[in-house]
């Protein structure tokens, strides 16, 4: 006897199937536009440095050219804003404008929630900190409809936040590393990210055997321009890259940061002026020190000695071009010292008999 294998669907079953398909589409849409991200914003109230660091399972693409870095807005001397989870450019631009107007971090978040561009603040997450003339403030917000695991921790001069995470331990580790690492603000932010370098910390990236798909580290000094920060590093795999990633983005960022520190130590440390300082004499016996191409010459000191090592002249550097006239001829040795008495450059010059 032949069995009837045709399937008969009742109207009720068809309705349930449609609802299930719709739910799956909504979930897929939320995954597409969400950023499962962990990040930290912080201020050093002593130096005035403002920092921003984070990572996400979002890669580089037309929409996100530097991956997760798109969520970071660092305003030198003022503060830093992270807009993450269902990131929207308009929300970020509004937050920037409100910070420039002098609103506190909590006021900015209250305004973002009240004036969300999509009238749906419950899918957003924010972390904000400001310098406030050396009296930093912070605030954070996590919408109830951000994807789990989600949470934030905001304290006096920093805020840590994340969504679609492995768990609270990721945020706790970021905070612990930040608080317990010695060194500069940049050192502490880099260590904070290393605290989150766990496979699947950002749960979607577990399949890539990494914590994330992109990472960034940014620090501004008080006198920086917004488009030229003291430190601005990022690493991002392409958004459409599949399979196992060869190196965790946080480790790649660490490599970039270590190289940056070497560069800065050479640029700002002993011998930093040697390739750029110009020293020359003229027939009138005037010696010119030209610091025009030197970074950070202000406040340095010039010492001039004869060949026996006896100091014969010295002066503070106040201008990019300084001139001095010695009263005798011969070979002289000069040293350039910074405020910490570190040698920035050295050399010799020769004075002929003055005419």
pLDDT digits (tens, 9 = 90+) for 331-352: 898 989 888 777 788 888 888 7
Q: Same structural domain for residues 258 and 330?
A: no
Judge whether residue 223 has pLDDT over 70. yes
Contact between 177 and 195 (Cβ < 8 Å): yes
Q: Using the structure block, give the residue that is written with the tokens 């991200």.
A: 37
Q: What percent of the chain has pLDDT over 70?
A: 86
Q: Tell me the C-alpha distance between 287 and 349, whole Å.
A: 8
Q: What average pLDDT is seen over the chain?
A: 86
- Our count of domains for the chain comes to 2
Residues in the chain: 355
Q: Same structural domain for residues 229 and 204?
A: yes
Q: Using the structure block, give the residue that is written with the tokens 């706790």.
A: 172
Q: Same structural domain for residues 166 and 247?
A: yes
Q: Same structural domain for residues 317 and 263?
A: no
Q: Same structural domain for residues 154 and 202?
A: yes
Judge whether residue 119 has pLDDT over 90. yes
Question: Is 24 a member of any domain?
Answer: no
225-254 pLDDT, tens digit each: 888 899 999 999 999 999 999 999 999 999
Question: Is 79 a member of any domain?
Answer: yes
Q: Same structural domain for residues 212 and 295?
A: no
Q: Same structural domain for residues 193 and 318?
A: no
Give one word for 172, left, alpha or beta, with left for phi > 0 and alpha for psi -120 to 50.
alpha
pLDDT band at 34 (very low <50, low <70, confident <90, very high): very low
Residue 316: predicted pLDDT? 94
177-196 pLDDT, tens digit each: 999 998 899 999 999 999 99
User: What DSSP letter does each residue of 246-287 carry, written as one string?
Assistant: SS-HHHHHHHHHHHHHHHHHHHHSTTTTTTT-EEEE-TTSEE
Residues 6+ apart with CB under 8 A from 261: none
Q: Same structural domain for residues 260 and 285?
A: no
Best-predicted range by mean pLDDT among 34-38, 259-263, 267-271, 286-290?
A: 286-290
Best-predicted range by mean pLDDT among 18-27, 150-159, 219-228, 289-298?
A: 150-159
What is the C-alpha end-to-end distance of the chain, expressed in Å?
126
Residue 269: predicted pLDDT? 63
Residue 330: predicted pLDDT? 87
Mean pLDDT in residue range 125-145: 96
pLDDT band at 268 (very low <50, low <70, confident <90, very high): low
* Enclosing domain of residue 295: 278-351
Coil vs helix vs strand at 231: strand
Mean pLDDT in residue range 208-229: 93
CATH code assigned at 325: 2.60.40.10
């Amino acid at each position: 006897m032949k069995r009837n294998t045709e399937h008969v669907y009742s109207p009720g079953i068809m309705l349930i199937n449609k609802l299930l398909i719709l739910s799956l589409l909504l979930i897929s849409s939320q995954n597409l536009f969400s950023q499962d991200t962990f990040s930290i914003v912080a201020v050093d109230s002593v130096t005035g440095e403002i920092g921003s660091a984070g990572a996400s399972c979002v890669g580089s693409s037309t929409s996100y050219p530097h991956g997760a870095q798109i969520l970071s807005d660092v305003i030198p001397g003022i503060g830093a804003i992270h807009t993450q989870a269902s990131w929207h450019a308009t929300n970020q631009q509004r937050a920037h404008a409100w910070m420039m107007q002098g609103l506190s971090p909590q006021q900015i978040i209250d305004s973002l929630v009240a004036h969300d561009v999509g009238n749906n603040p419950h899918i957003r997450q924010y972390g904000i900190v400001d310098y406030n003339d050396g009296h930093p403030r912070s605030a954070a917000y996590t919408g109830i409809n951000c994807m789990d695991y989600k949470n934030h921790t905001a304290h006096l001069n920093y805020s840590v936040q994340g969504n679609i995470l492995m768990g609270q331990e990721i945020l706790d580790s970021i905070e612990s590393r930040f608080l317990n690492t010695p060194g500069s603000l940049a050192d502490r932010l880099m260590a904070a990210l290393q605290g989150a370098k766990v496979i699947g910390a950002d749960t979607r990236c577990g399949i890539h055997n990494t914590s994330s798909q992109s990472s960034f580290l940014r620090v501004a000094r008080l006198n920086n321009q917004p488009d030229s920060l003291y430190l601005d590093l990022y690493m991002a795999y392409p958004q459409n890259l599949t399979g196992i990633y060869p190196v965790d983005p946080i480790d790649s960022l660490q490599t970039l940061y270590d190289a940056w520190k070497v560069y800065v130590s050479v640029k700002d440390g002993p011998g930093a002026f040697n390739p750029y300082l110009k020293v020359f004499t003229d027939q009138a016996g005037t010696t010119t020190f030209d610091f025009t191409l030197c970074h950070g010459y202000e406040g340095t000191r010039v010492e001039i000695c004869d060949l026996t090592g006896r100091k014969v002249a010295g002066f503070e550097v106040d201008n990019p071009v300084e001139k001095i006239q010695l009263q005798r001829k011969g070979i002289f040795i000069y040293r350039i010292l910074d405020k910490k008495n570190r040698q920035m450059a050295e050399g010799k010059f020769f004075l002929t008999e003055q005419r």
